[in-house]
Structure 1
Amino acid sequence: MARKGVVSDEGTVTDADTSTVAAKAKAVEIKKQLERLVKAIVDEDDYRVETADEAIRALSYLKDLKSKKSLSFKLQGGGGGGTVVIPKEFRCPISGELMADPVVLATGETFDRPFIQRWFNEGHRTCPQTKQVISHTVLTPNHLVREMVSQWCREHEIELPKPVQDIDEQLVTNADRGCLNSLLEKMSSSLSDQKAAAKQLRLLTKRSSSFRALFGESTETIPQLLNPLSPGQVDAHPDLQEDLITTLLNLSIHDNNKRLVAENASVIRLLIESLEYGTVQTKSNAAATFFTLSAIDSNKITIGASGAIKPLIDLLDVGHPLAMKDVASAVFSLCTVLENKERAINAGAVGVILIKIMDHVLVAELLVILAMLSNHQRAVQEMCELGAVPCLIGITRESDCERNKENCVAILYTICFADRTKLKEIKEEETTRGTFSRLVQTGTSRAKRKASGILERLNRTGSITHTA
């Protein structure tokens, strides 16, 4: 009978499945983290309480790992018991494990691919063995060592370890799961605990994609996170609200979380309230959350039906300049769905956008939205009533931005066919300055098509005389 095993910390092959590799590698990661935390505590007189808490959690984790499973095993099988020492040259210098995917660094040293890759991902640009600064981070497969490891495994009737592709993600996830649960539990504790936990969650979800992914493991994590925010009193503690809404934004960046967040009606209600009440940063991040969630078409419909568009338009109207760009991005993304265009028009989007454009606020971003809405008859009617034509002609004539000119002429093209009374202004611009003829020659391909269409429309209504 063949014997199967993996490597222990002592360099022996053990009778365990491949999860042991991840567990031990995880212990290595936790020890590194603990070393950094202890150094911070020792070196700084005024170290943060959170740093001590993290160190305690790391120690507790290592203690639990040690008590749950000894890392020293015997090799068992039909051939009898005993331990087999792994040759040093077959062990990764970083992990101490039998190398499953040996690669050569620029310095000539060999490492297991996932561990050296993680070393680079952490920002290091030196060889862990020689401490040399490396000229490049290209990793070359070491086929000779790979074959030697395979042969050694066959001789000792040991299963060759499979290469681990996502070990960094797995390590961080496993190490942080307990930390996440602890922080979420504090969301039902005292206000001071809630605030401290919220700050830490905001930081962790910003830095780590794997920590963001953890929230997708259970439908209960998001409600737990937002437990301190009460509907109707969402801004009772503005700093706490800002940290939690920002955490929600960080989570929504992760693709697997987008539906989890958007399909929770209570979450959407809290985001809508945060558009109306809270710090400028809170409002901006609530809008940005709607933008990231709307990357999925089904979420666009859900968010639109929830009543979020009206508060977004209101925030665009009276909001702080820092929040407006996020609001504009959210409105644009949501309005790619037909139903939401109607909602935006009903919410007064056309008037708000035109006023901002006339005030030279976010002209490029808002022209894109206006062009999108211009295929709706009522939106065009409102544009004509609110004096959009002179504004759009002015931008077409004077702007240095080709994209702005393109969107303006696209809107004017629609207006030409929707309201004959506006042809006079457009015709006068062409007769006096030749703005649209010039755009036919120099504009983008879309701008050329729209400008040509305008000229054809004008020609059908009467002759055009150009001035030099």
Structure 2
Amino acid sequence: MAEAGILETIPRTIMTKETELGKELEKLVKTILAEEDCTVEAIDEAMRILRVLKELKIKKSSKVVDNTAIPEEFRCPISTKIMSDPVVLATGQTYDRPFIQRWLNEGHRTCPKTQQVISHTILIPNHLVQEMISKWCYERGIELPKPLVDEDVHAGADRSYLKSLLEKMSSSLSDQKEAAKELRLLTKRMPSFRALFSDTSDAIPKLLDPLSRGRANTHPDLQENLITTIFNLSIHEDNKQLLAENPHAIPLLVESVRFGTTETRSNASAALFSLSTLDSNKLIIGKSGALRPLIDLLKEGHPLAMKDAASAIFNLCLVLENKCRAVREGAVGVILKKIMDSILVDELLATLVILASQPKAVEEMGMLGAVPCLLGIMRESSSERNKENCSAILHTICLNDRTKWPLVMEEEKANATLSILAEHGTSRAKRKAAGILQMMKRGASITFR
């Protein structure tokens, strides 16, 4: 009992000294900043206190980790140290991954703690214990010491675990669901796990195996976890081309934008956006028929899904073929309606600028009331980028449709919106606004105030 009391006193004593030194340092800093002719001694003293505080910080961290009574369930039975990557062995015992993996790699097939013969060598992450350790350390201000990890051992263990999870994809439905949930979690938390898929030739086909084309949403929870896993994988650069070249991946993503839970549809859109950062993938995704379901998802208006759909549409429309497809699929009307409803205005105006290079899109904008909407944003928005985009779109409309000039003239007479933008906007906005004004003057021979 006496020893425990001493251990509790150590961090408390250090913390008291830290507080006192902190106050002293604060006074010194104020003095140094307030006085132009502060002494060199004051600066030296401030630096000395900083060095002492640094030493105390290191001392506090090391003493707490070494001396605090760490709960037994947080210690690895092999290293006896607190675990940084707890995993469960086949016998149900939890170990720190590098130590149990090294034990297994040495050829042992028994549990070090119970001496039971193990039925398999798969190591399953113990997320519950990991979270308990994190919480325990956080509450005590402890920074976990970084373990000495054998990278080859770690990578080998991850490959073995990935292989076992992928094998479950061709097993029972319950196994598939369990593995899909774990893969979703691992590919979210561990960039190294995402990278393994690019090193394993059959990983993507096995992952997609449970999702049959045309029936991907038969089991919504399984679909959601697998589609989200694909999204997580798409973040890794080496996986982008790999996924796009798989004959089933993009069609399954497109189907999942159409059918599935809201989260599934949103994550499928996010995956298409992520994959489309490669120019070659933009064409593949466009040809797959992705734009129509993305536009429909944007139109439906679920907050969780709209932004992902809008981002994917924007990225895909950066290539000419997809601009034409988007216009044919009704993107202009859907985008304008959202802008008029003040939804995702920044993102959708950027897309509308891209589509304005298409004559049919410009014609639709004029018919659907884009001019008053654009003028309103130019007049009232605080976003210089939005004003710039509006002026660019309006310039194109005015070049192609003189019937819209009277609306522009009325706005200019009432609010001098274009004149103000021509004087105070971004360089591009100034050019576009001035161009519209010049157009009006030449065409109608009028002088604006």
Structure 2 length normalisation: TM-score? 0.70
Q: CA deviation at 1:259?
A: 0.4
Deviating more after overlay: 329-338 vs 222-231: 222-231
Q: 2:226 aligned with 1:244, yes or no?
A: yes
Instruction: Please state how far the C-alpha of 1:408 moved relative to its aligned partner.
Output: 0.6
Structure 1's 454 and 174: CA in aligned 2 closer, same or farther, altered over 3 A? same
Corresponding residue for 1:298? 280
C-alpha distance in 1, partners of 2:274/2:80? Answer: 32
How far, CA to CA, are the matches of 1:62 and 1:208 in structure 2?
A: 21
2-structure distance, mates of 1:282, 1:243: 8
Alpha-carbon spacing, 1:464–1:240, altered in 2? closer, same or farther (3 Å) = same
User: Corresponding residue for 1:284?
Assistant: 266
Shift in Å, 1:466:
4.3
1:459 aligns with 2:438: no
Question: Quick one: distance in 2 between partners of 1:333 and 1:30?
Answer: 51
Judged with a 3 Å threshold, the aligned counterparts in structure 2 of structure 1 residues 283 and 399 are, in CA distance, closer, same or farther, namely: same
Alpha-carbon distance in structure 1 between the residues aligned to 2:392 and 2:160: 55
What is the aligned-residue identity percentage? 56
* 1:436 equivalent among 402, 418, 434: 418
Offset of residue 58 of structure 1:
7.8
Cα–Cα, structure 1 residues 247 and 300, in superposed 2: closer, same or farther, change >3 Å? same
Q: Distance in 1 between matches of 2:247 and 2:443?
A: 53
Which whole-Å CA distance do the structure 1 matches of 2:368 and 2:442 have between them? Answer: 26
Query: For residues 348 and 33 of structure 1, do their structure 2 counterparts lie closer, same or farther at Cα, with a shift above 3 Å needed?
Result: farther
Structure-2 change in CA distance of 1:128 and 1:384 (3 Å): closer
2:300 counterpart residue number:
318
Partner of 1:331: 313
Within 5 Å, give how 1:46-445 maps onto structure 2. 52=92, 61-67=101-107, 170=152, 172-445=154-427
Q: Deviations over 1:82-138 (max 9, x none)?
A: xxxxxxxxxxxxxxxxxxxxxxxxxxxxxxxxxxxxxxxxx9857779xxxxxxxxx
Aligned to 1:132: none
Structure 2, unpaired ranges of 5+: 1-75, 109-140
Match of 1:144 in 2: none
Moved over 3 A (4+): 29-41, 49-64, 123-129, 167-172, 463-467
1:313 shift after superposition: 0.9
**Distance across 2 between alignment mates of 1:211 and 1:176:** 7
- Say whether the 8 Å CA contact 2:84–2:144 is kept in structure 1: no
Q: Matched residues in 2 for 1:417 and 1:319: separation? A: 32
**Alignment deviations for residues 290-348 of structure 1 (CA, whole Å, 9 cap, x no partner):** 00101110000111111111111111111412100001110101100000000100110
Separation (CA, whole Å) in 2 of partners of 1:185 and 1:238: 21
Q: The residue matched to 1:67 in structure 2 has which SS?
A: coil
Q: Give the Å deviation of 1:50.
A: 10
Q: CA deviation at 1:463?
A: 4.0
Contact between 1:284 and 1:327, CA under 8 Å: does it hold in 2? yes
Report the secondary structure of 1:436's partner residue.
Answer: helix
What TM-score, normalized by structure 1, do the two folds share? 0.67
In structure 2, the residue matched to 1:140 is none
Distance 1:288 1:347 in 2: 20
Q: Summarize deviations over 1:24-81 as a string: whole Å, max 9, x none.
A: xxxxx9977997499798xxxxxxx99949869988744441129xxxxxxxxxxxxx
Asked whether the equivalents of residues 294 and 334 of structure 1 are also in contact (C-alpha less than 8 Å), the reply is: yes
CA distance in 2: counterparts of 1:202 and 1:445, whole angstroms: 46
Query: Which letter maps to 2:107?
Result: S
Per-residue CA deviation, residues 248-282 of structure 1 (Å, 9 max, x unaligned), is 00000000000000111211111011001111111
Whether the aligned pair in 2 keeps the contact of 1:30 and 1:58 (CA below 8 Å) is no
**Shift of residue 176 of structure 1?**
0.2
Closer/same/farther in 2, CA of residues 38 and 414 from structure 1, 3 Å limit: closer
- More RCO (CA 8 Å, sep 6+): 1
Deviates more, 1:380-389 or 1:458-467: 458-467
May I ask how many residue pairs the two structures share in their alignment? 342
| Bigger fraction of residues in helix | 2
How large is the Cα RMSD of the aligned pairs?
Answer: 3.1
